[in-house]
Chain A
Amino acid sequence: LAKTTQPISMDSYEGQEVNITCSHNNIATNDYITWYQQFPSQGPRFIIQGYKTKVTNEVASLFIPADRKSSTLSLPRVSLSDTAVYYCLVSGGYQKVTFGTGTKLQVIP
């Protein structure tokens, strides 16, 4: 099972772009990379998913290099409402997956 490593916390000012990098050196061929956002007292919420190269949706971009051993979640122009914990998850199907402690993003006015 792929283990992920992320920074424990990050601070950013409102309006800035935030990049959170996740390392997953032993990612398997059929694993996808998925990022989740969790607010206090809520379940994690799906943000974005990718397999390789770049994926973009209305809230974020996900950059995955060719070797797939890391990935970077990019949040454009963050606001105070983006303050949350962000989890990187590597999985393919119904594997036994445990979330790490995630990255606590604090957006500062």
Chain B
Amino acid sequence: NAGVTQTPKFQVLKTGQSMTLQCAQDMNHNSMYWYRQDPGMGLRLIYYSASEGTTDKGEVPNGYNVSRLNKREFSLRLESAAPSQTSVYFCASTPGGRDFLGYTFGSGTRLTVV
């Protein structure tokens, strides 16, 4: 049981390049999330998907787009990377619904934009 899998684990981009961060969960969870964590900071929510077919903005959505491809997969796209997007990106999932059972996080993608 892998839980939440993120790819790639590391990436270096040049300013203006685009890329997609992939996330997949195998726990049949309904809700999925993308967070970013800057050095010494807490996690900030970029986008989330309450259920398959829906997405919504979090605290820091500018410069990002997301796609909930199916129930398992939730991708994050940077269309034109900027140095300010250098961060560690975490994907997470929850069962969703009335009985909140907490987040399961992936191991993160460390992104550097030069």
Q: Does A94 lie within 8 Å of B105, measured CB to CB?
A: no
Asked whether B50 lies within 8 Å of A94 as measured between CB atoms, the reply is yes
Interface size bracket, A side: 20 to 34
B48 within 8 A of A: yes
Q: Which residues of A contact B50 (CB under 8 A)?
A: 94
Residue numbers in A under 8 Å from B106 (CB-CB):
43
Band of interface residues on B? 20 to 34
CA distance A85 to B43 in the complex (A): 12
Residues in B neighbouring A45, C-beta threshold 8 A:
105
Counting CB contacts under 8 A, is B66 at the interface? no
Output the nearest chain B residue to A43 by Cβ-Cβ distance: B105
Name the segment of A18-26, A53-61, A67-75, A95-103 touching the other chain. Answer: A95-103
A44 and B103 form a contact (CB under 8 A): yes
- Chain A residues positioned under 8 Å from B58 (CB to CB): 96, 98
Counting CB contacts under 8 A, is A5 at the interface? no
With A and B bound together, what is the CA distance between A46 and B95 in angstroms? 14
Nearest A residue to B41, CB-CB: A101
Interface residues of A (CB under 8 A from B): 30, 32, 34, 36, 41-46, 49, 87, 89, 91-94, 96-102
Q: A43-B90, A43-B105, A101-B42 are in contact. List 13 more A-B contacts (CB 8 A).
A: A34-B103, A36-B102, A36-B103, A42-B107, A44-B43, A44-B103, A44-B105, A45-B105, A87-B43, A96-B45, A98-B59, A99-B43, A100-B42
